[in-house]
Amino acid sequence: MSEKTELSPKMKKLIELAAELEDLGHVNALLGWDQQTNMPSGGAEERGLQMAAVGRIMHEKFTSEEVGALIADLEDEIGDLNAETDQARSVKVAKREYDKQTKVPLPLLMDTIQTTTMAHGAWEEAKSKSDFSIFKPHLEKIVDLRKQYAALFEPYDHVYDPLLDDFEPGMKTAEVKEIFNILRPQQVELLQAIAEKEPPDNSFLKQHYDEERQEIIGRYVITRFGYDWNRGRLDLAAHPFTTQFGQGDVRITTRYLKDDAGSALFSTMHEAGHAMYAQGIPRKYRRHPLSGAASLAIHESQSRLWENLVGRSKEFWTFLYPSMQMLFPQYLANVSMEDFYRGINKVQPSFIRVEADEATYNMHIMLRLEIEIGLMEGTIDVADLPEIWNAKMEDYLGITPPNDSVGVLQDVHWSGGMIGYFPTYALGNLASVQLWDKMLETHPNIPDEIAQGKFDTILGWMRENVHQYGSKYEPQEIMLKATGSKITPEPYIKYLNQKYSDIYHL
């Protein structure tokens, strides 16, 4: 079937429905963005009701018998939903989502939206006061709601599967465990080798850098990367995130820490990676069934690639370091580029996931996966989480958080009900290196271009090999098309060993 084939009346109807649902989804995203950037704390309850009202309209529109009949008719009309056409894949995506959403009763959806909206404010207060008890009743209800949700998809191989599938379509808990079982011992071996070496000095970062100048450098970097300010903006949030209200409005947030100048810059790069993916989805998919991303792991592959493979590379700092020294001479005038590069790549087990170096980051994810599986299986109680968290931090990273704020309360995800999300961070790390390696095969001059502040080859390759597909293909299909392989840990392990052997003279 040609992509230019005239759309049937039913296909047009599906696309019109997708457009309306996307508009409503973006209204809810705008309410959520405002909640995390501007809303006073007193607005939480009513905001929850507002978001639930929009969620109810979306759910009722999409799960009607009329929509079910439309999808079934289109399935018959098209035949092979795996065919390489936008029409076939649009119906496949719609059918997958319809089959999931029709299993979810409206009261459960409403309860979940209201509960998570209230939980976000409770999490912010609990984190600021380092008091888990404030968040505990909210999280207990969220875990119960997630168990109810998972039960709707029985029979399953594992209770965690339905939650993981929401963020990583087609991925099973057993597959993630298998990947992590390969990854963990090799990362532990690397960390042990690094621990025997003299660590680089990064004290120059642990100062109070002027926030206005931090913003200047962050904006400059992501502008050079290719972030489109005509379709985006940068704001502050307690936990950095990216959101969008359409292809013409993709927003990012960051945060400034008083004792870590790297935090805002690297989180800004990270969020810009997400945003450039969203900005890069073709205009033909605007308000369309295929307008989304392939998955969260593919999304993370973009953010981690720009943050780490570009942003923490020696070539990048060959380009940017003179500007950093000019903006912050009091801290960097006497720090060589080589010492700066080694310092920003210092391996040091840390409490905060989003501040973690590349060598320890995946350990944070494995810890969270174990805890989430335990919560869903019922082998871990929410009340015991602070102690369990601290014990696992000691086991995985050899450190114990001094308080709940930098321990069990550090991530925003559970307050939003996003159990099943964390594995996509590690999967995204693995995918980022596979994409990078393939890109360098085609464009071996990219490191030289980075050193000159030129990034359009990278963005262009991603546009062609990842962004242009929207959600037309499942994540593993994207990886096979782009790299010839599904997500696998070996390239990432090789990358880490090469990088840190150079920095630590292993």
Residue partners of 26: CB distance under 8 A and separation at least 6 = 244, 245, 246
Residue 384 within a domain: yes
Residue 219 sits in the same domain as residue 342? yes
Instruction: Give the Å distances, CA to CA, from 427 to 158, 196, 386, 488, 491.
Output: 19, 28, 26, 8, 12
Is residue 250 within 8 A of residue 298, CB to CB? The reply is: no
Q: Are 87 and 189 contained in the same domain?
A: no
Whether residue 302 lies inside any domain: the answer is yes
Q: Are residues 452 and 332 in the same domain?
A: yes
Provide mean pLDDT across the span 425-440.
97
**Where a domain ends, among 72, 102, 132?**
102
Report the percent of the chain where pLDDT is more than 90: 91
The confidence score (pLDDT) of residue 3 equals 53
Q: Which domain holds residue 18?
A: 9-102
**Residue 271 annotated to the active site:** yes
Which region, left, alpha or beta, applies to residue 246 given φ > 0 means left and ψ of -120 to 50 means alpha? Answer: left
My answer on whether 88 and 231 are in the same domain is: no
Mean pLDDT of the chain: 94
- pLDDT of 95: 94
Q: Per-residue pLDDT averaged across 445-466, rounded?
A: 98
| Of 271, 355, 358, 372, catalytic | 271
Query: What local confidence, expressed as pLDDT, does residue 6 receive?
Result: 84
pLDDT at residue 151, as a whole number? 97
Place of tokens 């923490």: 312
Say if residue 71 is in the same domain as residue 186. no
Q: Are 133 and 404 in contact (CB under 8 A)?
A: no
CA-to-CA separations, 353 to 176, 231, 450, in angstroms, rounded: 19, 29, 27
Q: Are residues 342 and 482 in the same domain?
A: yes
pLDDT tens sequence across 289-326? 999 999 999 999 999 999 999 999 999 999 999 999 99
Domain CATH number, residue 350: 1.10.1370.30
Q: Are 316 and 453 contacting, i.e. CB atoms less than 8 angstroms apart? A: no
Tell me how many domains the chain contains. 2
Beta carbons within 8 Å of 159's beta carbon, 6+ residues apart: 147, 150, 376, 377
Planar angle of CA 392, 363, 450, nearest 5 degrees: 155
pLDDT for 69 beyond 70: yes
DSSP secondary structure code for residue 306 in this structure: I
Q: What is the pLDDT of residues 112-135, one digit of tens each?
A: 999 998 999 999 999 999 999 999
Q: Does any domain span residue 131?
A: no
Q: What is the CATH number of the domain that holds 56?
A: 1.20.58
* Residues 177 and 98 placed together within one structural domain of the fold: no
pLDDT above 80 for 1? no
134 in a structural domain: no
- Answer whether residue 41 is part of any domain: yes
Is 152 part of a structural domain of the chain? no
* Residue 261 belongs to a domain: yes
Do 401 and 487 sit in the same domain of this protein? yes
Domain boundary pick from 68, 102, 136 = 102
| 147 part of a folded domain | no
Q: In the listed set 83, 102, 121, which residue is the last one of a domain according to the structure?
A: 102
Q: Are both 364 and 453 inside the same structural domain?
A: yes
